[in-house]
Amino acid sequence: MLPRIASLSLLCLLSSPLWAADCPPLLKDQGELQQLRSKERIDLCQRFAGKPLLVINTASHCGFTPQFKGLEALYQRYKGQGLEVLGVPSDDFRQEADSSEGTAKICFIDYGVTFAMSEPQAVSGDDAVPLFRELAEQSSAPRWNFYKYVVGRDGKVIASFSSLTKPDDEDLIEAIDKAIAQQ
């Protein structure tokens, strides 16, 4: 009887989506983010660990806001290959909507975003959430809205790109391809 219980316990453990040790500090230290205009929370380890990831700090009223269209196209192009995209709205640069409703309208209605979006967060300075503190430690802190981080399956930043880098930029695509190819 004891071997059967042990094997069932092992089976349950092995079938769980993720061992705690497999979640890199980049995701583990943050834990969860509140999903934009939802009661749901985004568990970063459960949702993104072991997957190629593009993280962008966004703002609803920025000259770069039209990049949402290209980011959504990028997500649609690569999601079948495992790419995840996480948009993190922020008012650090004073260009975010005054309410979550306004942010959600711009993201979901105006630009048709289907990738994960969190509620607005601090992304720079001493108040930055742990995710962005770790991104900054591995590369650099965002200097403006729509700063982009390509993260490998191992939770390490492969490359970061300024706001001026468009979603169809060949260097960004190359970094995403590298993240997808990473084992």
Three state DSSP letters for 96-107: CCCCHHHHHHHH
CA distance 67 to 22: 32
pLDDT at 17: 46
Q: Burial-class residue 101 by CB neighbours within 10 Å (0-12, 13-18, 19+).
A: exposed
Q: Is 107 a catalytic residue?
A: no
Which residues lie below 8 Å from residue 35, measured CB to CB, with a gap of 6+?
A: 41, 42, 116, 117, 118, 119
Predicted confidence at residue 16, as pLDDT, reads 41
Q: Quick: pLDDT tens for 97-134.
A: 999 999 999 999 999 999 999 999 999 999 999 999 99
pTM given for the model:
0.88
First to last CA, the chain: 38
Confidence of residue 174 (pLDDT cuts 50, 70, 90): very high
For 32, other C-beta atoms within 10 Å of its C-beta total 15
CA distances to 3, 95, 100 from 148, in Å:
50, 17, 22
User: Any bridge partners for residue 85, and if so which?
Assistant: 54
- In this predicted model, what pLDDT tens digit does every residue of 4-14 receive, in sequence order? 444 444 444 44
Domains in the chain (CATH in brackets) are: 23-181 (3.40.30.10)
What is the model's pLDDT at position 183? 82
Q: Which of 12, 23, 45, 62 is catalytic?
A: 62
Q: Which of 135, 163, 137 is nearest to 149 (CA)?
A: 135
Digit-coded pLDDT (tens) for 38-93: 999 999 999 999 999 999 999 999 999 999 999 999 999 999 999 999 999 999 99
Q: Residue 84 belongs to what H/E stretch? A: strand 84-89
CA 125, 131, 134, 138: dihedral to nearest 10 degrees?
-110
